[in-house]
Structure formats: C-alpha cells, structure tokens
Amino acid sequence: MTEAEQDKTIRAVLAAYDLPGRICGITRLVNGHINDTYQVKLEEEDRTETWILQRINDYVFKDPLLVMNNIRAINEYLDNQLDANDCGVIHFLANRDGIIYTEYAGGIWRLCPYVPNSVAYEQVENSQVLVSAGYAFGRFQALLEGLPMERLAETIPGFHDTPDRLRKLFDAAERDEAGRKTEVKSELDFFRRHEKLASRLAELLAAGELPLRVTHNDTKYNNILMDIDDGRPLCVIDLDTVMPGLSMYDFGDAIRFAANNAAEDEIDLGKVSLNMDYFEAFTRGFMAAAGPSLTETEIDHMALGAVVITIELASRFLADHLDGDRYFRIHRPGHNLDRARCQIRLAEDMLEHLDEMNAIVRRSLPGKKEETA
C-alpha cells in the first residue's frame, strides 16, 4: 500500500466514528509485530487529541470478530468495576453504529485513545517495572474472576495444550522432514524425561482441580502501559489473545520472559538462568493483586507454571527446527534450535530452584510475612 493509499484508507475508516476536529497527522508505528498500527492526531481549535488505530492481522487471527467479541465482553464486564485508581484495560471506541470495530477494505479496524504520560518498557529498567507488571496482570485476572467463561471464545485453539505440543514435537521427530533429528537427541531426551511433569497442569484441569480463568496469554511486561513518572501500572493492552486459560500460564509466561538473565536465543548457555530478584519482584506484584482470588491448588502450582510454559515454548521451537523452520522466523541457521536449547536450560534452572520459587509465591501472598530464624 502506498502512502497515499494508506492515508485514504485510514481517513475512510475514521469517517465511521464521531471524532472532533480534523486529521492533522498519521504515523505508522513499527514497534508492534502482529497488527498494523497507526497514530492519528486530531486538531480542533487550540486542542490536539491522539488516537491509536489498528487493523487486526487476519493471518494470525483467523476470525478477527471472535477477537473483538472477547474484548467487548471484557470491556462490558469491567465498565462498572473500575475506578480512577485502578489499573485499567484498553477500551475501543464504538463507531456510529455502536460497534467497537469497523469493517473496511476487507479488514477489521479498531480505534482507542492514546494513554497520555505512559510508557511501555521494552527492557527492565528496575525491579519496580516488574512489580507493576505483576500487579497489573494479577489485577486483570482478579477483576475478571466473575466473567462467565461461555462469553469468551478460544481465539487460538489449543494455544497452551502442553501435552498436545509435546505430541507434535515427537511427531515432528518421527517425520524428520528436514533431516535434523540426529543432532537433537539429547534435547528430545529432555522432553521425554519431563513429559509427565509438563503435562501436570493439563491433568489437573481435566480432573476439575484447577479452574479456568480469563487469561491474557501474552504477559510480557511491554503489554502494560505505566506512568512515565512514578511507574504505576495504568493500563493492560494487547487483548487479542485473551481467552479461557489457567492462571499459572499467564504467571509462568511472564516469568519466562522477564526473569531470564539472558536473551531468548542466547547461544552461550552458561549465561542462561533464572533471575531470582526479578522473579520475586514480579511475584510480589502478581500475588498482591491475584492472591486473594486464587485457590490453594493454584497457589501450590503457580511456580510450576513457569517451568511448564518454558518447556512448552522450547518444544515449539524444537518442533519448528525439525520441520524446517516454517513457523518462527529465523535470522540465522539453527536459530530455532538455539532458542529451544536456551529455553531448555532455563527450565532446568527453574527446576533446580523450584522449592525456592514456591516459597517466594507463598510469602508474597497478602498478609504473609517472611519467616525469620
């Protein structure tokens, strides 16, 4: 799409809304990886407003209307619960037809206000970033505890079906389409040794011992807008993957992302380990917000969620490597294998510290104090 075509399309989409002023600037934002995102500035007399316009990626999300229906259910449920002091959840503006999305040029578009004085951190600046992120994601779960699960659709079926992910890995090894199986024998042995452990949460869910909750499913700390001055969490964003799931998956994926001392694709595995200070910071925030609404079984298995999610992602990286790198974009030969090995090492380190992680979860519950000798 040329710049002129882009400008024409965006103006046509915006015409579906009652917006004040005239368009005085359109800028494409490139920091997102999935959706097409634009910053739109509107000017009226001596006042300027900023809005964010997105087109949902219908390759990743095969049914964008399911995504928007989930978001609508969440927004409607929260409308009467949030106050000015709460960490909010991104809301989208209804168009003239009263719908929170607009269909145009074969795409699904949505519009939300820009949150002023906010920042989304791409790197951990200090532990307060993780405390705030933990609180925001924990608060998100606690606020939505009463939302009936039948109001939400599965936007990505089987997204965290760990046993199925492992089956797909072993199937990929059997097919060995890229002829790479012989180089990953030790990695495959790791998954066979830990298959039962990695399937534990799914088994508890199937047995009715863990409740389904409204989960975000992309709990990276850059999906929280924070106050640029004091670091308070202001708003949870990127709700496209919200669907029924397990609390431990959200917690675990956040830990996997935030508390690794190395990059996700680090080659030097000696650098890969769990940063216990970061783990404790995120856990402190998450449990402060979500702890009172969690069951004892959830609390007992919260730390295990970090291990399970890390093993699950490692299996996906390795399966893609065996299949010839079809899903995850690579930037060098063996990139997915490097990613898999990094996540395997991180999971191993988590297992070595699992007792300590469990203790941190427990003492992070509201009202709990660290035991003294």
pLDDT for residue 371 is more than 50: no
Distances (CA, A) of 315 to 166, 188, 252, 323, 336: 6, 9, 16, 12, 10
3-state secondary structure of 184: helix
Name the phi and psi angles at 41, rounded to 5. Answer: -110, 135
Q: Which CATH number fits domain 3-113: 1.10.150.120, 3.30.200.20, 3.20.20.70, 1.10.760.10?
A: 3.30.200.20
* Least confident span in 81-85, 138-142, 306-310: 81-85
Q: How confident is the model at residue 274 (pLDDT cuts 50, 70, 90)?
A: very high
Reported as a single tens digit per residue, the pLDDT across 153-199 is: 998 888 999 999 999 999 999 999 999 999 999 999 999 999 999 99
Q: How confident is the model at residue 367 (pLDDT cuts 50, 70, 90)?
A: confident
pLDDT for residue 141 is more than 80: yes
Task: Kindly provide the residue ranges of all beta strands, DSSP E only, lying in the chain, ordered along the sequence.
Answer: 22-29, 36-44, 47-55, 88-89, 102-104, 107-113, 118-119, 213-215, 224-227, 233-236, 243-245
Domain range annotation of the chain: 3-113, 127-363
- Tell the burial category of 102 from Cβ atoms under 10 Å away from its Cβ (0-12, 13-18, 19+): buried
pLDDT for residue 234 is more than 80: yes
Region 139-161: what's the mean pLDDT?
A: 92
Region 49-76: what's the mean pLDDT?
A: 92
Residues 135, 138, 142: CA angle, nearest 5 degrees:
130
User: Could you give the CA distance from residue 222 to residue 31 in angstroms, rounded to a whole number?
Assistant: 11
CATH class of the 127-363 domain in this structure? alpha beta
Reported as a single tens digit per residue, the pLDDT across 125-140 is: 788 999 999 999 999 9
Reported as a single tens digit per residue, the pLDDT across 36-51 is: 899 999 998 888 999 9
Share of the chain above pLDDT 70, in %: 97
